[in-house]
Amino acid sequence: MDVVVFGAGSLGSLVGGLLAREHDVTLVGRAAHVERVRASGLRIEGEVEATVHPAARTTLPARADLALVTVKSFDTERAARALARCDVPTVLSLQNGLDNEATLAAHLDGRTVLAGTCTYGARLLGPGRVACTGVGEVALGAREGGPSVAADRTGRAFERAGVEHVVAEDMPRRVWEKLAVNAGVNAATALARVPNGALSDPPGRDVAHAAAREVAQSARGEGIDLTEARAVASVDRVVRATASNRSSMLQDVERGTRTEIDAINGRIAGPDAPVNATLAALVRTWEDAEGLRES
């Protein structure tokens, strides 16, 4: 299969690199990374060790069988416009946050846009080098839920490359459950400058639970079967499993780069979600002060 990965940063390089063990993969990323991958391949280190030789470019190729979207959520709109000019029948988002698939679908008439969630951990170490910080799983399926021929075909491609995955018929609930975890963990850890494990006990745990409960309430308002108990249990499970990790939003704040707050807590913020509204307002205040929201 010809697979193009749009956004070869941490996650895109890892998943693209794993798929390159079996498929013709093209990584689309920034110049320094692209040049190093072209010159000496992509080195995967950590929980998976491999050197692979995908193609690498700074712009999309003319065609592919499958596109993975792994840009940050604030770049989804631009990615969608670029993908509209690429002849690719199936597009799979592996991003965090809500509405990425809807944004893609709005620009990609006649293509199949699949929803995905990913619990693999990835960190770009430098040009040509990516760390697998945790072997997780990709869940993928129809963005409206139910069966999908394109999801089955994509699942078989992941299977052949040895990428842990599940083809799921309940992607809307899974995307919202992942949102509950990110809403509970990311902003609180970024604002308090603590690793995820600091949310195991009050008062951090109370903030994380309250944010996750609001996500579940909002999900049910949109017809998604996500209970508050399930959302809170997911937060607790992830906090335990990733206790020593620094969340992606904390890493963004420490690096001084824009966060995904708009697609996470910001998506829920409103009069019925005061905890998410407060978390989103504080992170946006920091982004404004750093001049990160201007582009």
Ligand X SMILES: NC(=O)c1ccc[n+]([C@@H]2O[C@H](COP(=O)([O-])OP(=O)(O)OC[C@H]3O[C@@H](n4cnc5c(N)ncnc54)[C@H](O)[C@@H]3O)[C@@H](O)[C@H]2O)c1
Ligand Y SMILES: CC(C)(CO)[C@@H](O)C(=O)[O-]
Buried b (16+ CB within 10 A) or exposed e, 45-83: ebebeeebebbbbeebeeebbbbbbbbbbbbbeebbebb
Q: Mask 224-253, x = binds ligand Y (CB under 6 A)?
A: --------------x---x--x-xx-----
**Chain centroid to CA 275: how far?**
23
Q: Binder to ligand Y among 182, 218, 265, 276 (CB under 6 A)?
A: 182
Neighbouring-strand partners of residue 26: 4, 55
Q: Which residue is nearest to ligand X (CB)?
A: 9
Find the part of the chain contacting ligand X (CB under 6 A) among 27-35, 44-52, 141-149, 273-281.
27-35
Residue 160 binds ligand X, judged by CB under 6 A: no
Interacting residue with ligand X among 30, 81, 193, 237 (CB under 6 A): 30
Return the one option of ligand X, ligand Y, none that residue 186 interacts with (CB less than 5 to 8 A, by type): ligand Y
Rounded Cα distance, 19 and 16, in Å: 5
Of 178, 205, 209, 213, the active-site residue reads: 178
Question: Does the protein bind ligand Y through residue 259 (CB under 6 A)?
Answer: no
Which residues from 109-128 bind ligand X, rule CB under 6 A? Answer: 118, 121-122, 124
Give 256's contacts (C-beta < 8 A, 6+ positions apart).
290, 292
Identify which of residues 112 and 189 has a Cβ nearer to ligand Y in the complex: 189
Query: What x-and-dash track marks residues 67-96 binding ligand Y by CB under 6 A?
Result: -----------------------------x
From 18, 28, 108, 232, residue interacting with ligand X (rule: CB under 6 A)? 28
For 217, phi then psi, to 5°, come to -65, -45
Residue 72 is among the residues annotated as catalytic for this protein: no
Q: Can you state the angle between helices 171-192 and 248-255, rounded to 10 degrees? A: 40
Which residue in 52, 181, 188, 190 binds ligand Y (CB under 6 A)? Answer: 181
Contacts of 230-238 with CB under 8 Å at 24 or more apart are: 230/177, 231/177, 231/180, 231/184, 234/177, 234/180, 234/181, 235/180, 235/181, 235/184, 235/185, 235/199, 235/208, 235/209, 236/205, 238/181, 238/185, 238/196
Nearer to ligand Y (CB atom), residue 89 or residue 134: 134
CA distances from 160 to 16, 60, 140 (A): 13, 24, 16
Within 60-79, the residues that bind ligand X by CB under 6 A are 70-73, 75, 78
Nearer of residues 95 and 196 to ligand X, judged by Cβ: 95
Cα(217)–Cα(223) distance, integer angstroms: 10
CA 79, CA 65: separation in Å to the nearest integer?
17
Q: Which is nearer to ligand Y, 6 or 120 (CB)?
A: 120
Chain position carrying tokens 């509204």: 277
Binding site for ligand X (CB under 6 A): 7, 9-12, 28-30, 70-73, 75, 78, 94-96, 118, 121-122, 124, 248, 260
Q: Which residues of this protein are in contact with ligand Y, per CB under 6 A?
A: 96, 181-182, 185-186, 196, 238, 242, 245, 247-248
Residues tagged active-site = 178
